[in-house]
Amino acid sequence: MAPIFRARDDFAARPSLTEQRWPALAASDFLVVRCSPAAAQSEYRQRGDRRFKEMGRADSVIAIIIDGQP
């Protein structure tokens, strides 16, 4: 099984989430996105989603609705 990266756990002790996140996204085969109204309002989250899609991996995004309506 391949390693699983979780932003909340893996970056908790690091000073700059944004700088650390881009290499992790680049190395990822899939992006699992937890969808909720609150998450949709997060600019931080939107930048990561957009970056993953710009890398040509839009077909590798797995969306999971955890709250709200699709």
Q: Indicate if the pLDDT at residue 29 is higher than 70.
A: yes
Burial 59-69 (b: 16+ CB within 10 A, else e): eeeeeeeeeee
pTM of the model: 0.70
Per-residue pLDDT averaged across 3-27, rounded?
66
Which of residues 14 and 53 earns the better pLDDT score? 53
Examine residue 1 and state whether it is found in any structural domain, yes or no.
Answer: no
User: What is the span of the domain harbouring residue 21?
Assistant: 7-65
Residue 47 included in any domain? yes
Q: Is 2 inside any structural domain?
A: no
Residue 13 domain flag: yes
d(CA 18, CA 20) in angstroms, rounded, equals 5
Flag whether 32 is in a domain.
Answer: yes
Once rounded to an integer, what is the mean pLDDT over residues 14-42? 81
Count of structural domains, the chain: 1
Query: Is the pLDDT score of 18 beyond 80?
Result: no
